[in-house]
Chains A and B, each alone.
Chain A
Amino acid sequence: MEPRQITLQIDHHFVTVPEGTTILDAAQKIGIDIPTLCHIDLKGTCIRNTPASCRICVVEVEGRKNLAPACATKCSDGMVVRTSTLRVMNARKVVAELILSDHPNECLTCPKAGSCDLQSLALRFNIREMPFNGGELSPRKREYTASIVRNMDKCIFCRRCESVCNEVQTVGALGAIRRGFNTTIAPAFDKMMSESECTYCGQCVAVCPVGALTERDHTNRLVEDLADPEKTVIVQTAPAVRAAIGEEFGLPAGTLATGKMVAALRELGFDYVFDTDFAADLTIMEEGAEMLDRLTRYLGGDKEVRLPILTSCCPAWVNFFEHQFPDMLDIPSTARSPQQMFGSIAKTWWAEKTGIPREKLVVVSIMPCLAKKYECDRDEFKTGGNPDVDYSITTRELARLIKRANISFTLLPDMEFDMPLGASTGAGVIFGATGGVMEAALRTVYELYTGKPLGNVNFQAVRGMAGVRRASVDLDGFELKVGIAHGLGNARHLLEDIRHGRNEYHAIEIMACPGGCIGGGGQPLHHGHSEVLYARANALYKEDAGKTLRKSHENPYIKMLYQEFLGKPMSEKAEQLLHTHYFNKSC
């Protein structure tokens, strides 16, 4: 049944909304932007935090004695709401001043400056002095992990990170502990995040309104490496970066900035600008071969083989199953992530071709992700202590660096990636959106399995933003069943099913972040606007549609790599350089 429509008045404007709508959403519908702080509701995804605790969004409702929080008050028929009376504005200002009274005055050096929601509110409410002194919370823990920096002095207890970590991702690493002035947000037993179940997905960082949770910054290190004439510094860019970097320079969400991004990286001084999409194509070759191998053995009656095969591109997802599902470490594909495949090939095949010694070669990755930073640090991806990928910086860090280097991003010409590691197909590009890895795999697996050319390469059924999606693909009479999950909470449901023998799939793609990498913890902040994520995904599908080659196995440089160096997928050399193994990390 359709919900009843009700009409109310907000600031002299009439608005009709379905029953159950909050004042906040009704106001938004008619362009009245009520300020919020603790509240976040990324519509169309599962990211929500609605505790109604900060009281920044209070409004006056006629006939009601107290001010009402707009985020939690439902509209009623005939309601009269005022969002900007003197009483409302004063109340909001006092609330903000009280929050500021216990917030460090470090805006000048805070990594969140310029994109901090609290700072924006202080500006918007015209706060020019700090009227409240006195009680301050005792100094809190600071922690630098490989991926995330935690500075709890700046925490305002909006609990967004806690909601995301517990309800959305079901990781359960962060929670509120103690009470009153001693409250803080921390892992169990006040341990370090590095000793907890944290997957470094970075979704807590993506929703933190202030500078309490930020990324581990490597830009200074990069500046030094770029200035070192002894070093050859090469870069790989993840698919999702090109669809989001433009936002940091005022371009609308969903602007494809591939060419300008390449130009900016050249301006910054990278010796070669390559593409992680190349390695994404390589991933499909290896993961696809593994999938076919397992499938053929399974259909041949081999009882040893376990299905479904799970993708392993997402490092936060890898951390998640290592911590939470140690009994199922043999199910995910052993294929390394594209980032690591790139590093491995760059420091072997490419380094040999160009004659650059490993120790003078610095491989940097630009990622939409925080878990990638941790992934670079994993011991199994090092040769004699030298990492395959030296370090990873986020889309946000790259944007800061471009600004720091006086580069006018929007005025740059479009440039092309360098060859051979910059060559990619459309299949590699869509890795950045949820469902993209599966779609790319299907394009290749279909042709390899059936031996026939694939007519329509667009698998619409695996696209979209639903948390869990399923699709069947006809492989010449064999019905291949695939599943897709994004967000670790959705992944957990699928994994619990598999654990209890209720599995209907042959293959499953999992991405830790809602929307896939386009919604990663290292991306420009969405500030609660989910349309930003949709626009980024569309941009990737647009880039894919515009490519001549759209199947990974048709990438000519991938073919060259196998001919010259690897032999064939899952060869001994490929196993050694492109595959990995997993560890039991349960607490």
Chain B
Amino acid sequence: MSEIKLPCDIIGKVNAICSEHGDDPKELINILHEAQHLMGYLPEEMQRLIAGRLGIPASKVYGVVTFYAFFTMTAKGKYPISVCMGTACYVRGSEKLLEEFKRVLGINVGETTPDGKFSLDCLRCVGACGLAPVVMIGDKVYGRLQPVDARHIIESLE
């Protein structure tokens, strides 16, 4: 069992989501989609709970969660940082920018800092190619960034 114990109200909500979808294994992706909104991620215990409700092995649920990039098993940081790796941003140096974020935060893509403040992800195009390279932090867009800006942004948020 995972170390994370789900709060009672979350368990109730997950059960309710499954019920709304008729506890149908074919609805797994929709159920996971809604369940992820509850806590921002899908902890092991939540996946086991869903597997039990739908009568399918936990390995199947985990297989789906790890297949789709949208689903995540790590809690996002207070400031979720997403670096755009779309074509325009990429050719304007987003890879170096991403490396700098990794270096400064000391984490890899898909991870969260131990203090829970920052998490790092990639995304594909937010439709602001004119501002390339672009980084989104929460709902805020930062454009025309250079690698050196990574540290400044993080410090401004701390």
C-alpha spacing A176/B65, complex, angstroms: 11
Assess the A172–B67 pair: CB atoms within 8 A: no
Asked if A587 is an interface residue, CB under 8 A from chain B, the answer is yes
A449 to chain B, nearest CB (A): 40
Assess the B66–A188 pair: CB atoms within 8 A: no
Q: What are the 10 A-B residue pairs with the smallest beta carbon separation, nearest first? A: A172-B57, A175-B59, A188-B58, A188-B59, A175-B63, A178-B66, A188-B62, A177-B66, A179-B67, A177-B63
Least CB separation from A175: chain B residue: B59
User: Most A CB atoms within 10 A — which of B2, B44, B59?
Assistant: B59
Assess the A172–B59 pair: CB atoms within 8 A: yes
Interface residues, chain B, CB within 8 Å of chain A? 1-2, 44, 47-48, 51, 56-63, 66-67
Interface residues, chain A, CB within 8 Å of chain B? 166, 171-179, 186-190, 196-197, 587
Assess the B63–A189 pair: CB atoms within 8 A: no
Q: Which residues of B contact A190 (CB under 8 A)?
A: 62
* Contact pick for A175, options B2, B44, B48, B60, CB 8 Å: B60
Determine the main DSSP class of B at the interface with A. helix
C-alpha spacing A197/B51, complex, angstroms: 14
C-alpha spacing A177/B48, complex, angstroms: 15
C-alpha spacing A171/B57, complex, angstroms: 8
Q: Which residues of A contact B63 (CB under 8 A)?
A: 175-177
* Contact pick for B62, options A166, A175, A179, A587, CB 8 Å: A175
Q: What would be 8 A-B contacts, judged by CB atoms less than 8 Å apart?
A: A172-B59, A173-B57, A175-B57, A178-B66, A188-B51, A188-B57, A189-B44, A189-B58
Tally the A-B contacts, defined by beta carbons under 8 Å. Answer: 49
C-alpha spacing A172/B54, complex, angstroms: 13
Assess the B60–A172 pair: CB atoms within 8 A: yes
B120 to chain A, nearest CB (A): 18
B35 to chain A, nearest CB (A): 16
Least CB separation from B61: chain A residue: A188
A140 to chain B, nearest CB (A): 14
Q: Which residues of B contact A171 (CB under 8 A)?
A: 57
Q: Which residues of B contact A196 (CB under 8 A)?
A: 59
User: Most A CB atoms within 10 A — which of B1, B57, B61?
Assistant: B57
Q: Which residues of B contact A173 (CB under 8 A)?
A: 57, 59
Q: Which residues of B contact A172 (CB under 8 A)?
A: 56-60
Q: Which residues of A contact B57 (CB under 8 A)?
A: 166, 171-173, 175, 188, 197
Assess the B67–A174 pair: CB atoms within 8 A: no
Q: Which residues of B contact A174 (CB under 8 A)?
A: 59
Assess the B58–A587 pair: CB atoms within 8 A: yes
A155 to chain B, nearest CB (A): 15
A179-B66, A189-B44 known, 18 other contacts, Cβ within 8 Å: A166-B57, A172-B56, A172-B57, A172-B59, A172-B60, A174-B59, A175-B57, A175-B59, A175-B63, A176-B63, A177-B62, A177-B63, A177-B67, A186-B59, A187-B59, A188-B51, A189-B58, A189-B62
